[in-house]
Amino acid sequence: MPADRSGGPLSRRTLLVQLCALVSAACSKAAFLAANVPAAFGPYKRRANIRYGTDARHRLDVYVPDKPAAAPRPLIVFWHGGRWSFGDKAEYRFVGAALAELGYVTVVPNYRHFPEVLMPGFMDDAAQAAAWAIAHAADFGADPNRPYLMGHSAGAHMAALLSLDSRYFAATGRPVPRIAGLIGLSGPYDFLPLREPDVQAIFGPPPLYADSQPINFVRPDAPPALLVHGLKDTQVWPKNSRNFATALSAQGVAVTLKLYPKLSHADTVAALSAPARGRARTLADIEAFVNATRPQAALETAAAGIA
């Protein structure tokens, strides 16, 4: 266990404080260490650094639950946040561990960042990673026909856009999959006008700004969505999830919106880590959403305690 400045073990309170700063500008290594140390010993197997493309960033980790399952498991692909500019899959082992604990095969990819690439570079990476995950789902005991796309912050934006705009999957040369569900944590989905110079550069020039907004691609056959947001989030305003949920619902899409009054931007994902699960019901929200969108046979199997 990591130590505090006195040399003793970090208290639970200290761990929580660090976890709540997970996606701060500094992205402290201590915060990720606090989240990931308990995750290293979970009931799952981790296949790390599998290549899904040609770039050095085109690597992903796969988390497979140890417990046998009578039916194919749900497949979840999770993208990390970091303002499309930083972050690494290794820092989010706690996410893969938490979802594997629920019985889901989980894929956590890296992708190229700004300024190496602009939009659509990282979206092309997201599509390649998801296509790889779907193509290889059966190898890990997962259902290739019902993938879930998930992310936090910038990763939630990528998951949403990939779920709604079929151009990215089409560009991979593989069939466009039917997405079982979208899971977005603290995501930007409706964030025009763009005021920050780096974000303008990422999504520019201005005639292309509209293509960066998931809310512009909402359609009646969009996948069901779970949107989780903290009302104390000052990095990505909660109106993003509110507006996106309203737009989806207006098209007849099933959407579950969870707004937590005491949570900030990082709290929604930090709550997936073992030390901070009491802070929010994110993991329970995800489990309920996946159960509600799985085929009836899988639900009956899970209810019988087999899956």
> How far, CA to CA in Å, does 304 sit from each of 70, 288, 298?
11, 16, 10
144 in any annotated domain:
yes
The answer to whether residue 174 is domain-embedded is: yes
Examine residue 46 and state whether it is found in any structural domain, yes or no: yes
CATH number for the domain that contains residue 173? 3.40.50.1820
- Global pTM reads 0.88
| Number of separate domains in the chain | 1
Does residue 185 fall inside a structural domain?
yes
Residue 124 covered by a domain: yes
Give the whole-angstrom CA distance, residue 278 versus residue 12.
11
Closest Cα to residue 31, out of 92, 83, 81?
A: 92
- pLDDT of 61-105, one tens digit each? 999 999 999 999 999 999 999 999 999 999 999 999 999 999 999
In a domain, 226, yes or no: yes
| Residue 118 domain boundaries | 38-303
Is residue 22 one of the residues assigned to a domain?
A: no
Q: What digits encode the pLDDT tens for the residues 170-201?
A: 999 999 999 999 999 999 999 999 999 999 99
More confident residue, 66 or 17: 66
Q: Is residue 1 part of a domain?
A: no
